[in-house]
Amino acid sequence: MATIDWRIKGKEFANCNCSYGCPCQFNALPTEGFCCAAAGFQIEQGHFGDVKLDGLRAAGVYRWPGPVHEGNGTMQLIVDKSADAKQRDALLKIMNGQETEEFATMWFVFSAMAPNKLEPVFETIDFEVDVDARRARLVIPGIVELVGEPIKNPVTGREHRVRIDIPHGFEYRLAEIGSGRTTTSGKIRLDLKDTYGQFARIHLSNKGIVDEATV
């Protein structure tokens, strides 16, 4: 099926309820048997057809009663308040897996596995992420507060650096792994502390990962 050409290049931070490493990244079941997560995205360059998406931000909050692949999840998308009507529509389509080849991106997968979709929110998104330093902060008033930082050695207190390399993934090629904390006050309640945090540069299109994402 033909889809609208779109591309997004930028950075992300995501925090889920799994232990550091996240078994889901290795085709294993989630640490606690179910999955919940929040993620923020900073778009550096992007377009949806002829609609430019440069400089915009977006986020998502998700919860599944079991592993993601078993479905029946609930999701809520948040789009930058500064986006105009066309930009909002474009970002919602991308993050709902529309105009995307089947299972080509994490957004397609999450949407397909989350039939319970709450109304999207258009709000100010305060988001800072430094992939190499493994630090991030996401604040969306009345919805979510998320913090990412390096994993610390429990004996020495030094920062511990570890990566996940997925050559054939649908989200990133290489991710820096850290620790995350998330609290939400919206309709999907999360209270995560010192769990899996993922910092990555993303470069995605309607066909999946663009190879430049390895750079």
Q: Which residues pair with 164 in a beta bridge?
A: 175
Predicted TM-score of the model (pTM): 0.94
Work out the pLDDT band at 3, boundaries 50, 70, 90: confident
The confidence band for 213, taking pLDDT boundaries of 50, 70 and 90, is very low
Q: What DSSP designation does 138 have?
A: E
d(CA 210, CA 199): 18
**Residue 1's pLDDT band (cuts 50, 70, 90):** low
pLDDT surpassing 90 at residue 214 = no
Question: Which percentage of the chain shows pLDDT scores above 90?
Answer: 95
pLDDT of residue 161: 96
Paired with 204 in beta bridges are: 8, 209
Extended beta strands in 65-190, E state: 74-80, 116-117, 121-123, 126-130, 135-140, 144-149, 151-152, 159-160, 162-165, 174-184
Residue 215 has pLDDT above 70, yes or no: no
130 class by beta-carbon count within 10 Å (0-12 exposed, 13-18 middle, 19+ buried): middle
Measured between alpha carbons, how far is 98 from 114 in angstroms, rounded to an integer? 14
pLDDT band for 117, please (50, 70, 90 cuts): very high
* More reliable by pLDDT, 211 or 167: 167
Q: What does the pLDDT average to over 64-90?
A: 97
**Which pLDDT score is estimated for 2?**
59
Alpha carbon distances (Å) from 108 to 57, 62, 81, 204: 18, 13, 23, 12
Mean pLDDT taken over the chain: 95
- Compute the distance between CA of residue 95 and CA of residue 79 in angstroms, rounded to an integer: 10
Q: Which residues pair with 57 in a beta bridge?
A: 42
